[in-house]
Each structure stands twice: as structure tokens, then as C-alpha cells.
């Protein structure tokens, strides 16, 4: 199978300028994802979609392809997965006559995602030929039944459980809920083309632990990631 790892890395991060090439553990943030993708047993190409020459240079230096530059119009804060996925598919088909069987979307903000997890997710997707896509997720630490929205001067439950006592229950008594973690998303190009959505109706779950689910979006997240890297250097008995 032709399995494309696509790494979207736009330049315009407002919370952490230059986030995707900011150093983490002595190398650019994006390098962690490129290295994991290249170590996969199934991924056949690793491509970075970016609007930045600096990001493109860093990506190439760590072994990824950057065969095209993403237009600025598809690299804004409001740009969607669908837009840059379609742009990549269109460019590769029109310029190389290349159509992957699967797209493995790997955001560079998940540096602790392992190659073994990428392979596990691909295997899970291949085991379900009826599925439209796969989404990685982690178990929620903050349950939606404990969430509220403001309604005038009062609070109303974000989810109406039908019984107000539900919002007071211990977590282990509530339904298990998962949140997507921006780590590994897998798509079938045929679903993107035919259904005009990257997700579709049949979605395979791939559950990951908290460390692999670390998603760097602000300076505090970078600090947490550095702490986790330091802990890895400690002997197990010292942790």
C-alpha cells in the first residue's frame, strides 16, 4: 500500500511564534514527528505541508519531503483539515500522478507519539476496510457531565443528562468519554473525494496514553514537554 504521512506545519502560530521549529530537547519540534513517521514500518512517504521556507528547510534537513508549498490562503488560523488535505491530494495527483491508499495525518505538536503507535493505528485502520477514518484519542480527565455553560446569570449543564444528580456522581460512575488528541488521524482519499469530509461516518478509535497525547500549543505546554524529557533521563526508581 502507498501510505502517506502528511505533516501540516503552518508558520502563523500566534501563541508560540515559530512553534513548529522551536527547539525541544535539542531539535526542532517538527523533527520529532518526522523521525517517528520515518521509523514506521508502513509509511512509504513523509511529506510536510507548509507555507514557510524556514519550516520547509528544517523538514528537509530531518528527512521529510516538501514537494510543494501550501498557499497562504490555506495556512491561516481558520484553515481546515479538509482544505490542506485536498490541496495536498490535488498537487500530488496533478504533478506526480500519485494517489495514496491512506493518508496518516501527524500534527507536529505531538512530539511524544511513537512509531509503534503510528503502526498500531495503521494496522487498526487496515483491519477495518469498512471504516472511513481513524482518530486517536485519550480518555477525558475532565468529564463533559461536569461541564457548564453560562445562561444569563446562571449556569446550565453543557450536557443535559436528564437528572441533575448525574452531575454530582463520581467519575467512575459516569460513561467513559474520550477526546481526540491531535496525534494520529488516518483518512481514505476516496472518502475525502466522494463524501467531501475527512472524517466520514465510520470512525475507528485508537486510544493513547497521556504522555503520547501531549499536544504543544502554548509556552506552558513546551515547559511540560521539557520536564517530561528530563524525567526520561532519570532511572526508573527515581521517578
pLDDT, one tens digit per residue, over 89-111 is 999 999 999 999 999 999 999 99
The pLDDT value recorded for residue 169 is 93
Measure the CA–CA gap between 216 and 144, rounded to whole angstroms. 22
pLDDT, one tens digit per residue, over 128-177 is 999 999 999 999 989 999 999 999 999 999 998 888 899 999 989 999 99
Q: Helix (H, G, I), strand (E, B), or coil: what is residue 60?
A: helix
Least confident among 44-48, 55-59, 76-80, 206-210:
76-80
Instruction: Give the residue-averaged pLDDT of 182-190.
Output: 96
pLDDT > 60? residue 120: yes
Q: Are 21 and 108 in contact (CB under 8 A)?
A: no
Which stretches within the chain are classed as H helix?
29-38, 53-61, 81-96, 115-126, 189-195, 219-233
pLDDT, one tens digit per residue, over 25-62 is 999 999 999 999 999 999 999 999 999 999 999 999 99
- The count of other CB atoms within 10 Å of the CB of residue 99 is 13
The pLDDT value recorded for residue 162 is 86
Q: What is the DSSP string of 72-130?
A: GGGSSTT--HHHHHHHHHHHHHHHH----SEEEE--TT-TT--HHHHHHHHHHHHT-TT
Phi and psi of 131, rounded to 5°? Answer: -80, 150
Q: Which domains does the chain have, with CATH numbers?
A: 3-137+179-238 (3.90.550.10), 141-176 (no CATH)
Q: Grid coordinates representing 77? A: 488560523
Measure the CA–CA gap between 34 and 108, rounded to whole angstroms. 8
Least confident among 31-40, 120-129, 226-235:
226-235
Amino acid at each position: 500500500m502507498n501510505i502517506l504521512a502528511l505533516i501540516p506545519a503552518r508558520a502563523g502560530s500566534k501563541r508560540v511564534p515559530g512553534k513548529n521549529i522551536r527547539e525541544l530537547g535539542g531539535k526542532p519540534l517538527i523533527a520529532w514527528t518526522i523521525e517517528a513517521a520515518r521509523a514506521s514500518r508502513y509509511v512509504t512517504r513523509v511529506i510536510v505541508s507548509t507555507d514557510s521556507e524556514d519550516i520547509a528547510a528544517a523538514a528537509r534537513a530531518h528527512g521529510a519531503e516538501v514537494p510543494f508549498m501550501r498557499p497562504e490562503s490555506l495556512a491561516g488560523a481558520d484553515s481546515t483539515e479538509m482544505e490542506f488535505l485536498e490541496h495536498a491530494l490535488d498537487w500530488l495527483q496533478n504533478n506526480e500522478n500519485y494517489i495514496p491508499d491512506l493518508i496518516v495525518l501527524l500534527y507536529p505538536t505531538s512530539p511524544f507519539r511513537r512509531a509503534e503507535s503510528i503502526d498500531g493505528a495503521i494496522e487498526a485502520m487496515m483491519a477495518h476496510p469498512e471504516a472511513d477514518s481513524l482518530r486517536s484519542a485519550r480518555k477525558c480527565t475532565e468529564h463533559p457531565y461536569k461541564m457548564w455553560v453560562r445562561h444569563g446569570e446562571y449556569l446550565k449543564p453543557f450536557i443535559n443528562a436528564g437528572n441533575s444528580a448525574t452531575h454530582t456522581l463520581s467519575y467512575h460512575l459516569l460513561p467513559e468519554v474520550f477526546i481526540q488528541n491531535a496525534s494520529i488521524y488516518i483518512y481514505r482519499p476516496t472518502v475525502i473525494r466522494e463524501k467531501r469530509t475527512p472524517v466520514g461516518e465510520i470512525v475507528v478509535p485508537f486510544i493513547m496514553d497521556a504522555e503520547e497525547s501531549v499536544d504543544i500549543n502554548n509556552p506552558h505546554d513546551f515547559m511540560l514537554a521539557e520536564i517530561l524529557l528530563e524525567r526520561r533521563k532519570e532511572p526508573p526508581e527515581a521517578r
